[in-house]
Structure 1
Amino acid sequence: MRMNLLLVTFASLLLSVSSCTKDPIITDPTPGKEKPTEPTKPIDPSKPEPGKPGDFSNMPKEQADYYKTVDFKKTGMALKEDLAKLTNDAHKRFLSYGDIWEASKATDVVSVGSNEVYLLYGHEGVTSGKTAYTRNKNNHGGNEGQWNREHTYAKSLGTPNLQETGPGSDAHHLRPADVKWNSERGNLPFIAGSGVSKAIAKGWYPGDEWKGDVARMMMYMYVRYGDRCIPKYDASGNKGIGSGVVIGTANKIDPKMVELLLEWNEQDPVSEFEKRRNEYHGNRSNKYAQGNRNPFIDNPYLATQIWGGTKPAENTWKK
């Protein structure tokens, strides 16, 4: 009888101790797993990190061949440097500003064989899909009602002025645009907005239909030309190192990048139109192909793997 009473008393003591424990470790209920030795540390927002290496097991063969010199286990600025070297080395044909007319007729048509080209930003007041943003590919020039060659990275915002050679005639950022509406953009830096393209305060919103295209073009220009084409805009108007083409918060991993571009890249996925342009320029057998590709069109997640961002962009190479 005394033995039973002792056992009951001992059990009550154990229950009392366990009910007031301050041990923060919670037993993992999953069979076969070991209990962690220490609690998981929270993410420190003051120390931003790039995205983790992605699952790229579904990369198309022709792209795998092109990117064979890039170590995709790298993240952050190390991966940026790998992509910068490849993008520079693969750029074998340098187009003249005059060549861009013919290159655009080949790359910016609505569909193969079409006589219509897409117009970046569209027309003033256009409110519906990309099929409304077109003009006959042969109707180009400098007059109202025609299309001209838009420097998506405004020439005067380069470091120094991009002029019309080198980065100023890179087909990856030169796009057909309505003459009148393009003049409204002028050299305004890009800025956050919504809806159709428009001037906002001292900036230019490219439109919901085009913001992802613009983001990926600006990322390409920065990777390809480095400090000549810095995205981050210096609101003071200084045109030295630090000026650029996008108004917004600086990225914490790379202060020359702008968070707004990462948001646009994630929000507006790559279109078939963008892919077709990229394929054309990646194939050196095409008459006006540069030979290099825009890596952020091939896989938007590469921007996440370099610069992080609020949300990861789509990984188009994942199974």
Structure 2
Amino acid sequence: MKKLSILFLFFINLLTISCSNSSTNGDNPITPPPTIPPPSEIDTSQNPLLIPVENSQIAYYKEIDFSIRGLKLKNQLSLLLKKTHKHLTYTPDIWEASMITDINSDNPKEVILIYGWVDKTEKEITQKRTMNKEQRNHGGFNDDRRKNLWEREHVFAKSLAVPKLITYGSDEDNMGLIAGTDAHNLRPVNGEWNNVRSNKKFIEGSGNSGSVNGGWYPGDEWKGDVARMMMYMFVRYGNQCRPDVIGKGKQIINVNTGERDGMIDLFLKWNAEDPVSDLEKRRNEYHGNKNNQYAQGNRNPFIDNPYLANAIWGAEQEYRAENLWTTKEQHHIKK
């Protein structure tokens, strides 16, 4: 009987402890942390569908899904740029193309020079905005004669690319050669002013072009051109031409997707502040038409629509660029 009593008390004690623990867990349940989907799984289905408006653009981008955003859109555009790219030679193709695409519409005997100063403000010939198109530095002169000649400026400096950009070679599969002769990265420039720029990284500034704190400010007229060219080079060549290597600024984190790839705020800012010029459009149309003799065949998407920079890298609150296209909703209204 005594043994039965002891066993009974032991059983009651176990039951009490069990109930106490159960009650404690019920009052303070252990909740697992919420599951956050990685950026690649974030839903982008609510983004408006961007629609090109020019016939040449509609045909070129027909395979691109402009309802997607972030690096998915960047990757689609990258594949398109590669597929439609026809390699041009540094000589004579780039010379000949430049004398067509960069012609001065006010004087067809001249080419427009990138980094050139606004009319009537240049200090000397090195800062002039235009030059006779026949005054080319064919001989590769590296002396005082350069200031009276124009050259082909690699806006993404050759030595800063990895691998570096080259302009001559027999292997067209060499990415240094393909990028080194890319017409979307080459612009006429005064020879001496090109020498002054050298391989300085782009940096914020104001007014006309020139050296600023060890960097290079392209000028108020040209900063948007430069930004869209650097965006093109990054999308076309990836890590070979990273924006954070050619410009000074903070890396962008896309707040919508959480993605970061090396794009910097400087170029998004310039892209928003300086609208696409007629010169940029003319160059893009020429090279986008594969029937033109010296056309490269692909286009710079950020000239066609600067807003594509925001569609890929975000930063709409700080640096929203002009949207030159329509959306699906607007398209239906117009119809």
Q: TM-score, normalised by structure 2?
A: 0.72
2:181 counterpart residue number: 169
How much has 1:61 moved relative to structure 2?
2.2
Map of 1:251 onto structure 2: 252
* Secondary structure of residue in 2 paired with 1:144: helix
SS of the counterpart of 1:247?
coil
Partner of 1:294: 300
Q: Give the secondary-structure state (helix, strand or coil) at the position aligned to 1:63.
A: helix
Tell me how far apart the structure 1 counterparts of residues 262 and 49 of structure 2 sit (CA, whole Å): 27
The answer to whether structure 1 residue 65 and structure 2 residue 59 are counterparts is: yes
How much does 1:127 deviate? Answer: 3.6
> Residue type of the partner of 1:231?
P
User: What is the CA deviation profile of residues 37-96 of structure 1, one whole-angstrom value per residue up to 9, with x for unaligned ones?
Assistant: xxxxxxxxxxxx99x8456346212211110110001001111011101111111x2111
The code of the aligned residue for 1:159 comes to V
The 5-angstrom pairing of residues 16-165 of structure 1 reads 53-54=47-48, 56-57=50-51, 59-91=53-85, 93-98=86-91, 99-111=93-105, 114-122=108-116, 127=121, 133-141=129-137, 142=141, 143-164=146-167, 165=177
Q: Any stretches of 5+ residues in structure 2 without a counterpart?
A: 1-42, 168-176, 255-259, 331-335
Higher helix share: 2
C-alpha distance 231-57 of structure 1, shift in aligned 2 (>3 A): closer
Q: Which structure has the higher relative contact order (CA within 8 Å, separation 6+)?
A: 1
Is this contact kept in 2: 1:109–1:116, CA < 8 A?
yes
Deviation at 1:126, TM superposition (A): 6.5
Alignment of 1:217-228 (within 5 A): 217-228=229-240
Q: TM-score, normalised by structure 1?
A: 0.76
Between structure 1 and structure 2, the one with the greater Rg is: 2
SS of aligned partner of 1:176:
strand
In the superposition, relative to structure 1, how do residues 53 and 281 fare at CA in structure 2: closer, same or farther (>3 Å)? farther
Q: Which moved more, 1:54-63 or 1:163-172?
A: 54-63
CA distance in 1 between partners of 2:56 and 2:213 (Å): 44
Q: 8 Å contact 1:212–1:264 — kept in the other structure?
A: yes
CA RMSD of aligned residues (A): 2.2
Aligned to 2:206: 194
Quick one: which amino acid aligns to residue 74 of structure 1?
I
Amino acid at match of 2:228: R
Identity among equivalent positions (%) equals 50
Structure 1 position 315 matched with structure 2 position 308: no
Structure 1 pair 245/315, CA: closer, same or farther in 2 (3 Å)? same
Question: How many positions carry a matched residue from both structures?
Answer: 256
Runs of 4+ in 1 over 6 A off after TM superposition: none
Q: Which runs of 5+ in 1 are unaligned?
A: 1-48, 233-243
